Structure formats: structure tokens, C-alpha cells
Amino acid sequence: MSMTTLYLNLTAIFFYLFALMVVVTQLFFHNNETHLQKNKILGISSVATLLHISVLYQSIVTSQGLLLDLFNMFSLVSALMMAMLLLTMLRRPVENLTLVLLPVAIIALSLRLLTEAKSSALIQHSSELQLHILLSVVAFSLLSIAAIQAILLAVQERHLRNHRPSGFIRALPPMESMETLLFQVIYIGFVMLTLALFNGLLTLQDMFAQHLVHKTILSLSAWLVFATLIWGRWRYGWRGRTAIRWTLTGLITLLMAYFGSKIVLELILQR
């Protein structure tokens, strides 16, 4: 890692920590305030995310191709999730999600500092493959945000059911708005996942030689889970705990598909 990348990485971590401190302070030490200071969080987090993207560009883009090892991929997903959340914050009150995504981004950047990128993960430049990677990362990021939203929805429902809404719960939008946003994100994420799978199947040559068998099966399984959830929502009006369970099941399956092979190949088999 060059000195420039190192400084950018450390600076991004600093701004992420600063934004997280603002969020935690307002949620847990100012219980009388029911809404977070969106503009402050948006501004600080935007600076951190731009720095994060700069770090990623220098870490991933090389003259030989794209260096997408496990930790670069994790960092890329976390940065894209932050960017999507910040864009959503311009129109909707979703700043509460920063309480989860900011620590994820900090962990991703910290892991990159502590590990060396694996040259075996180098992917040669290919427009079809790059499109597949882009669609896959966007789909995973969107559906990850949906899963986090589902977890917050479950926490909100439990607290309201027990009549114990804390300052954190009061900072959340109404449950109906949370659920509407959840399915909007799922719909968009599902479309991107469909496009990613279609593109991947068209460019697939030999899934056995490329170690893509389990990734392909799990990705298709995740697609079926989200397809079933969307059908259940349309046909039976699924919501609440049912929607939460299906969302988390789909995300866990997708997580195993996207990162499972990299963990096995890079960390366990050292390939």
C-alpha cells in the first residue's frame, strides 16, 4: 500500500468515526431529540465515503486488471452501501441506518490496512465480466441495506409491542414508512440481481474449472427466495415478521454465494 493510499485510508476512517460519534451521541445521549441532525451526518459521511472511494480506486484498479480479493470486495460493498444510503438520505429519513453501516465501513477499511492484497485475485479487464461484477455488487449492496432495514423493523416492532420505545426507536420513521422503504429497496435489488445472474450465465464458460458451482447454486437460491418474497407480498400481502424472515434468509444465502468461495479459497486454501 502506497503512502498516499495509507493517508487516504486513515483519513476516511477518521471521518467515519466522527460521523459515528455524532450519530451515537444524538441517539443515546439526547433522548429528547426524536430526529437526527441529518445535514451534519450527511456532510461528514459524504466526505468519508468520497475518501473511501478514492482508496478503493487505488487499491482495486491496476494496469493488469481489477484486484478483487476478499477484503477489497468487502470494502467495495461497504462503500457502495454508504453511497446508496447517502443518496437515499437526500429524500427519505433513513439516517438511522448509519448506526450500522458506519461501523461496517470502518471495519472494511481497517482490515485492508492490516492485510496484503492477494495478486491471485487479479481479474483481467473484460467489459462483460466488469459489468457482471458491477451488477452483482450493486444488487448485494441494495439487498444488504434491505436486510439491515428489516432488522431495524423487527427491533422497532418488538419495542412498540412491549410499549418501551427508547430514544433510538423514536428516531426511526413510522413502521409503515419503514416497511414501504424496505420493499422498494428489495424490488430494485431484485432487478439488479436478476440482471447480474442473467449476465453471469451468459458469460459462464466452465463453472467447475472456475470454482463457481456453489456460487451459482447459492445465487440462484437467493434469487428464488427474493422472488418468493415479492410474490408473497403481491399475492398475500406479506409483511411484518414474515417479510423480515424471508429478507434475512435471502441475504444470508447471497452472502454465502458472494463471499463464501472467497473465504474458502483465499483464507482457508490460501489460493
| pLDDT at position 130 | 77
pLDDT digits (tens, 9 = 90+) for 50-78: 999 999 998 888 777 778 787 888 899 99
- Among 97, 124, 151, identify where a domain stops: 124
Total domains present in the chain? 2
Task: State whether 139 and 120 are in the same domain.
Answer: no
Higher pLDDT, 269 or 176: 176
Task: State whether 133 and 97 are in the same domain.
Answer: no
Task: State whether 149 and 202 are in the same domain.
Answer: yes
pLDDT, averaged across the chain: 83
- One-letter amino acid identity for 163? H
Selection from 104-108, 130-134, 212-216, 267-271 with the highest mean pLDDT: 104-108
The pLDDT confidence band at residue 103, using thresholds 50, 70 and 90, is very high
| pLDDT at position 175 | 76
Higher pLDDT, 247 or 169: 247
Asked if the model's pLDDT at residue 153 lies above 90, the reply is no
The pLDDT confidence band at residue 119, using thresholds 50, 70 and 90, is low
Task: State whether 267 and 135 are in the same domain.
Answer: yes
d(CA 29, CA 221): 43
Task: State whether 161 and 120 are in the same domain.
Answer: no
Task: State whether 101 and 192 are in the same domain.
Answer: no
- Among 124, 153, 174, identify where a domain stops: 124
Who contacts 117 (Cβ-Cβ below 8 Å, separation ≥6)?
59, 67, 69, 71, 72
User: Once rounded to an integer, what is the mean pLDDT over residues 124-134?
Assistant: 74
| pLDDT at position 120 | 56
In our burial notation (b when 16+ CB lie closer than 10 A, e otherwise), range 149-159 reads bbebbbebbeb
Question: What pTM was computed for the model?
Answer: 0.82
pLDDT digits (tens, 9 = 90+) for 200-219: 877 765 554 455 677 888 89
Higher pLDDT, 209 or 146: 146
User: Once rounded to an integer, what is the mean pLDDT over residues 108-120?
Assistant: 78
Asked if the model's pLDDT at residue 121 lies above 60, the reply is no
| pLDDT at position 179 | 85
In percent, the amount of the chain with pLDDT more than 90 equals 34
The pLDDT confidence band at residue 269, using thresholds 50, 70 and 90, is low
Asked if the model's pLDDT at residue 23 lies above 60, the reply is yes
Residue ranges of E strands in the chain: 66-67, 122-123
Asked if residue 50 lies in contact with residue 73, where contact means CB atoms within 8 angstroms, the answer is: no
Owning domain of residue 107: 1-124
Task: State whether 73 and 150 are in the same domain.
Answer: no
Task: State whether 120 and 132 are in the same domain.
Answer: no
The kind and range of the H/E element at 41 are helix 38-60
Torsion, Cα of 70, 71, 72, 76 (10° steps): 100
Asked if residue 45 lies in contact with residue 86, where contact means CB atoms within 8 angstroms, the answer is: yes
Task: State whether 153 and 47 are in the same domain.
Answer: no
Task: State whether 133 and 74 are in the same domain.
Answer: no
Task: State whether 82 and 178 are in the same domain.
Answer: no
- Among 60, 95, 124, identify where a domain stops: 124
For the residues of 205-271, what is the DSSP string, one character each? --TTTTT-HHHHHHHHHHHHHHHHHHHHHHHH---HHHHHHHHHHHHHHHHHHHHHHHIIIIIIS--
Task: State whether 174 and 262 are in the same domain.
Answer: yes
